[in-house]
Amino acid sequence: AHGDRRIDPYFWLRQRANPEVIAYLDDENAYADSVMAGTRPLQERIYREITSRIKQSDTSAPSFFKGYWHYTRTVEGLNYEIHCRRRRSMDAPEEVELDGNALADGHEYFELGYVERSPDENMLAYAIDFSGKELHELRFRDLGTGEDVLGTPEEDDALVLQEDDERFELNVELTKSEKFVILSSTSQMTSECRYLRADKPHAEPVVIEPRRPGVEYSVDHQGDRFVILTNDGARNFRLVGAPFDTPGKDSWTEIVAERRGVRLNATDVHVNHVVLGQRSDGLQRLEVLDCRTGQLHVVEQPDQAYTAFAGSSPDYDTAVMRFFYTSLTAPWTALDYNMDTRERTVVKVQPVGGDYNRDDYVTDRVWATSHDGVKVPMSIVHRRGVPRDGSNPALLYGYGAYEMPSDPMFDAARLSLLDRGFVYAIAHVRGGGEMGREWYEDGKFLNKANTFRDFLACARELIAQGYTSPEHLAIRGRSAGGLLIGAVMNEAPELFACAVAQVPFVDALTTMLDSSLPLTVNEYEEWGDPNDVEFYEYMKTYSPYDNIRPANYPALLATGALNDPRVPYWEPAKWVAMLRTVAQAERPILLKTLMGSGHSGPSGRYESWREEAYITAFVLDQLEVLDSAAGQR
């Protein structure tokens, strides 16, 4: 491209139909397992630790709607959730709506996508994926008989709306009031919504505001108006109202103005209230707007660093909202919050086995100074009493893309690291959504290098403050976070002893030049279009596969998935091959490919826990952390 000649000796690994490619991946899996053979007892120990902390037969917090209590439950020994309901009382007989275990039977891979009930509670629509390729099959189930049903003949189907721009995807949803159907066309940076009155579904959809590049908005309904969350004239978003007959921008009236340092990112609309998901000071918070008085209040939380978001509150005509709360030390908690009285009721706390006591752990919030003077926050957790003498093993996690935050959340599996003396840190780097829209924009397109430099600044700050040292520091990232891991390994390999990159987007330039791949054109709005020479040359400076150099790289475990439609399996495969060829690594560089899965990893929960045990054992082994439980690695 652009007269620039790039030689790719491992391009042949893209030939998925070639038996030699499959054999190559099988051989790599066998090699990884042989290197890891000595850790098998440790893997088993960690797996048992993880399963002992998780209540394997459990029930979610139930929610009441349309005369039924709805909930999901899990059964020990089974991989998937069971969706259930009970009529009027939790003491009534259980009706199983959907059993993921029965659906998955006979399939190597299974993932349940959306599950939606019809307003009369008689039908269930659900989407399933049996390959990991995210090509979902949409099914409808008669909840009276429990049988899946076929609809009218395909030739009788009426086309409602077609989206021809491949950068956009089309979504359909019913407003909580059940008065309107909203059809949304959205790309990474632009949206266009239409509405239908729910009692006139065969009418022509009405455009609310025509698409304009860079303008995003989402629509809900309340009373005599639409409620719209938009970035039009407000980088960090504002809330506006619009009449049904003339819903376009010229008729918008402001409900909640844009505020400095406050990024509005979600709405949950009820008859008298709007719940706002907002991000300020790096934390995900909840605010409640009383639409009768115009009063706005924050839902206060007990921890300094936490994550809170609105959950399943399906009723429109209620003053009670369900929300979820967690932190690095607080297990997931479901609460009901009365938006008028501000009373809260704990509905369910995630049970944690193994004598977990959150007072045994300490959380810190530390700021690192990046290359350009910007302060980058880190969320840190470790056991109480951990010294600050540089001797601790540490794991630094990062993502930094798509305005997706890496929020502090509880993870029972992480305790296997913390209880072995680890410091665990999350680097809230630019490109993510932690600190508002500007934080995101400063880590994308031609600013992408800020993501990597922020992460390096965080690593150096951990070392400077005595949390760890380079020989004890591991790093981890996934997908776009894998690109981050690859980039910082190239830039400062001496800073880390070990790296884990799961389904890493490491051959970014090659992938973004291939418009035949399913997501490439859609991704131009995140990374830029390398058919433009400016973006081409910039991406070439950071794409991990293109920047490997002769150096002593950290130990690496890279994972891929054969059916991954987002990051093709060949990206980690080519990357590992090139690292072994070019880098002067003295430590193991391993590739582990899931041969029957997609981007989200193993489909069953038990296989996911086994994968986590494998990764944890790799990190412990490479950092030479003795297992205190057994006095061995």
Q: Show which residues are catalytic.
A: 479, 564, 599
Neighbours of 252 (CB within 10 A): 22
Strands (E), 48-129: 58-59, 63-65, 68-74, 82-87, 95-99, 111-117, 123-129
User: Are 193 and 184 spatial neighbours (Cβ–Cβ below 8 Å)?
Assistant: yes
> What string of H, E and C letters represents the secondary structure of 451-518?
HHHHHHHHHHHHHHCCCCCHHHEEEEEECHHHHHHHHHHHHCHHHCCEEEEECCCCCHHHHHCCCCCC
- Rounded CA-CA distance 184/172 in Å is 6
Query: Which residues fall within 8 angstroms of residue 4, CB to CB, at 6 or more apart?
Result: 536, 540
Distances (CA, A) of 522 to 349, 477, 532: 39, 22, 16
Q: Shortest CA distance to 504 belongs to which of 524, 529, 530, 478?
A: 478
Q: Beginning with the edge strand found earlier in the chain, give each strand of the sheet holding 191-197 in spatial order.
A: 169-174, 180-186, 191-197, 206-207
Retrieve residue 351's tokens.
């049970």
Contacts of 557 (CB under 8 A, 6+ apart): 32, 499, 500, 501, 590, 592, 615, 618
Find the Cα–Cα–Cα–Cα dihedral 40, 46, 50, 51, rounded to 10°: 50
Map residue 221 onto helix, strand or coil.
Answer: strand
The CA distances from residue 510 to 82, 154, 507, 570, in Å, are 41, 39, 6, 11
